Amino acid sequence: VPTPLDHFKKPDMSFIESACVDIGRNMKRGVFISLESTTYPTTTEDVVKPIVERESGFKEGEDFWLCFSPERVDPGNKNYKTENTPKVVGGLGEEAQKIAVALYGKAIQKLYPVSSPRVAEMVKILENTYRLVNISLINELALLAGKMDINIWEVIEAAKSKPYGFQAFYPGPGIGGHCIPLDPFYLEYVAKGINFDLTMIDAAGRINNLQPYRMMNKISYALNRQGKPMNGSTILFLGVAYKADIDDARESPALLVMEECAKKRAKVLYHDPYIPEVVDEHGKKWTGVALTDELLESADCVVFTTAHSCFDVEHIVEKAKLVVDLKNMVKYIGNENTKIYRL
């Protein structure tokens, strides 16, 4: 079930709690319950267990068993699907762990049992926090590199030549999806409950939250260099999916950049072959437009916000008056092209 954040960036546990109430009221003895929703460590023991016991009248470890096994999904990944992605399982007690291994072993090629649900819960948070921190780092370095007239994409490619001790992360308009922008703040929430400050997550979160506004400023700067204000300019965004070649716009930073440009009274349009319509976090409905030569030629600025492989980059650049590339789509074009502005 979903595990969103509320407006104060606190975990919204209502979906988990509601599911546990329904399960408890309708279950029979002998049930095995596995929570896969990303959540903070101790949820299985301190939230799921007491609700199910209260609603069912049964006792965990005797009448039913609990496990936490985090979902691992990489949308668009053609190599790793559910079956061949190793699965972490953390049963609450020895019997629960045996059941978990027996059940998941029927469908998953490789299991990685851990000692408890709270360890499994922390595994998922670590995976997503690792990505949040590193993507936020490269986003901040990209802004610095731009001010120093350094191509951050060239820097990353050169750093990748090192065969050890480095993993490449790439900058963009922000971090999207239903995991990375949300899950680390579940850990921050529970840490505050035991008087522990996670300063790294806090800093990474602030960098990520600022990124869409910085991208709006970059678009404004590019327009100003062409003698045009943001107010009244037509800006065409290419891609609202949070990741290339998928149809998912959850927490997409492209929507935030679009909103900020619209607030500056730009005429905002978008094209995404995977997402014909999308609703932003404020409930506003956006409808995509067809990508025509007439539109490309008439737009004051074209912005690459998602690296969909179907985009004919060379043709788009040829037709557009001004291009702001936030995803390194026009890497083959030299810096001498004055209508190209890179992240």
- SS3 state at 23: helix
What does the CA dihedral 19, 68, 182, 237 come to, rounded to 10 degrees? -90
Write out the H or E segment, with its range, that includes residue 310: none
- Cα distance between residue 227 and residue 338, in whole Å: 13
- Cα distance between residue 331 and residue 141, in whole Å: 18
Report the Cα 259 to chain-centroid distance in Å: 18
Q: Which of 20, 67, 179, 301 is catalytic?
A: 179
With beta carbons less than 8 A apart as the criterion, state whether 208 and 181 touch. Answer: yes
With beta carbons less than 8 A apart as the criterion, state whether 300 and 234 touch. Answer: yes
Q: Which amino acid is at 21?
A: V
The phi and psi torsions of 105 (rounded to 5 degrees) equal -65, -20
Largest CA distance in the chain: 73
Catalytic, 301? Answer no
Contacts of 5 (CB under 8 A, 6+ apart): 11, 12, 182, 185
With beta carbons less than 8 A apart as the criterion, state whether 293 and 319 touch. Answer: yes
Instruction: Give catalytic residue positions.
Output: 179
